[in-house]
A and B are shown apart, each in its own frame.
Chain A
Amino acid sequence: MSDVLDKPVRGLAWFALKQEIEDFLYMEADLLDQRLFREWLDLLAEDLVYFMPIRRNVKFGQHAEKENTRQGEGISWFDEDKWTLGKRVEQILTGVHYAEEPLSRVTHMVSNVRLLDVTPSAENPAEITVGCRFLVYQNRVEYETNTFVGRRIDTLRRQGDSWLIARREMILEQNVLMAKNLSILF
């Protein structure tokens, strides 16, 4: 992000909001880890964009242009909407989606939370862009273990006294995917 080095002066409202957002992200992670998939779906905005690019090995200087596949073009790991995620949940709940039957054991770690953008203001936030790191640990059946690590950029939209996820971009730090499947939710 170009704002990595920005050091704006932040007031108490900003830090209170940051705390609120962190709590929201931890709660969301808990829903997934406790397999409350339908409740998790309720946190997604109807116009959700859920995007995980494929990362490529490119020459120095070409990263901005070529490193990640782009949303809305070609093939990525995920470039989908709420309907499709709803299908993923529905599939798990059939009990015969063998890639998740028996269910994996999953822990989502969320850290390095930063508010990247708040509109219109920290005192009265309607939409927030929040960056974080994820470390998702998956263990399934007996010995099969995957660790997915990367950056995430979420757009959250105020809804009543909570938030809806309107956009989630997951930037996985892998080129050739080192797992056989991406059968879990991020």
Chain B
Amino acid sequence: MSSNYQSKKLDKKQKRCVAIIQNECKIEPVADGISKYVAILNAGLSTGLTEELVLETVEKFGKITRLLMLPNKSYCFMECSSTEDAQNIVQNMNGISKIGQKEAVVYLSYFDSLPQAEDSNWLKPLPKGLVILNDFVTEEEEKLLLDVIKMDNVEVDAALKHRRVKHFGYEFIYGKNNVDPHKPLTNKIPQKCDALWPRLESISKSCNYDFDWYVPDQLTVNSYEPGQGIPPHVDTHSAFLDPILSLSLESDVVLEFRKGLEKRSVLLPRRSLLVMSGEARYDWTHGITPRVLDVVMTANGNLSTRRRSKRTSLTFRRLRRAPCNCNFPLLCDTKLEALKRTESTIESEKAALLEEKNVHNVYDHIAEHFSETRHSPWPQVADFLKSFPQSSILLDVGCGNGKYLNCNPNLLNIGCDRSSGLLKVCSSLNYQTFRCDCIHVPVRSNSVDGCISIAVIHHLATKERRLMAIKELARILRPSGQGLIYVWAKDQNANNKKSSYLRQNKSVNKQKATEEQQRQQTQQQLEEKAKEAPVSLPVHTNRTEFLQQDVLVPWKVKNASAQQSEAEKSTFLRYYHVFEENELESLIGEVNDIKLVKSYYDQGNHCVIFEKLSKSL
């Protein structure tokens, strides 16, 4: 009975594995039959299976023509030479063999075909400007280099996830990701390295490699234990010249390159020299995933795993001592700094023009689609509206499609907006509105009990104009009347809670939105479009954190007609001034006849409730 129970349990487990494969790979098991396609159900790349082990075990029982191992999967597939081979393999291994797995035995099942393999990023061309020179140093040289570097007496660095690091020539300061060229270290690059440079020069000449190079003056040595890695990064543009050289000692490792959505895995063999120049150096990030096993492509073109051992990398660089002049702006710290300096320098003469072109015109174009996407009122705004007694006069300045004009039907709700497109939407819903801008509200002073300004003031391009808008709200309020303002926050992550704006970005959920991942395929096109704006401003990448306060935010119109499918035609750039913490409160402080009642952070916005003082009557 117990053995029957055992076999039933196994049967159940096997069925569950088959169902997973059916679902994930869209292939069908061959019920009661035999085929030459066999799946190993519970061992694969994710459980550390190697091509070598599979071949060694399987070929005792039959011949296979193809082994297919999929990344991150705990199963793999074989195409056998014949159904006889397949049958023999299954009979001898199913529920018996362990193929080097520590715990359970493996299960095998027949399938009708092999799954469609995804386009492996191993098969795509390497990033431009990336060269790997195999066997760049001999084993003897490897030993000599390790001796002079003396990593053993370097303390582990907790801040660097316990990776050991040592600098020669100049210290690389991790906090600011730069070097101080005025503080050379007494520890220069060891002379043992000198032999490498004539070698590199002669190879680059004989192979016609397309990189200029300089004898390095800075060396960072990293010592990685198996399981350690380094997050995706780009070597700071302004800190170092092109190219970056990296010598791998003691172990192979897989380096992951990323550029926007593009990904490449590159195997760095032990004793090879990696040369990153041009695009590979400036426009791709590189990093090492912290893990013990790497997935690599074998000479047969199959994926397999490789166990890491301790690895030491020598990264040789040459200080730039000047701003970067590269042609790859997206990851360029020099370019980014320049963008930050353009902040708060929007001239007042251009502010109105910028708002006209990159706010009002855009809203008129997108009114319909915008309105479709804005139907549910934010709860805390609705709560504010419900706090007023019956017959209170409520003015919504910048009412958009009027979604707040029926939150509390006990009020006399009036809305106004600059966009006639949005006002038409209000009109169709029988809401009371008029057209005006928010710095000249045509309403008599001291006349309304409440006013709200939701997502409006961040469209004004100078501090002066933002202040004028708040003064208008203060002017129209009657004494003891209250106003509520929402503006977009630069920090979309306050209280460690991602705003829904960020949450909607699934990829950001998966991996932290670092500056380096803030790229999209359309970015370049949008940068072009941004040149049409009256003021030169950076284009924000949607659903990522803001890098600057004054930005152009793309609005993509969905269901655009076929001719409009290019990003250029269907994407509009809206101007935003996103608010720093306390910036809104300090504006309120500059207005005489109101006092701050409450300020809070809600849905990625900075929000204030303020009250008109009684004495101002």
Question: Bound pair: A and B?
Answer: no
A residues near B (Cβ < 8 Å) are: none
B residues near A (Cβ < 8 Å) are: none
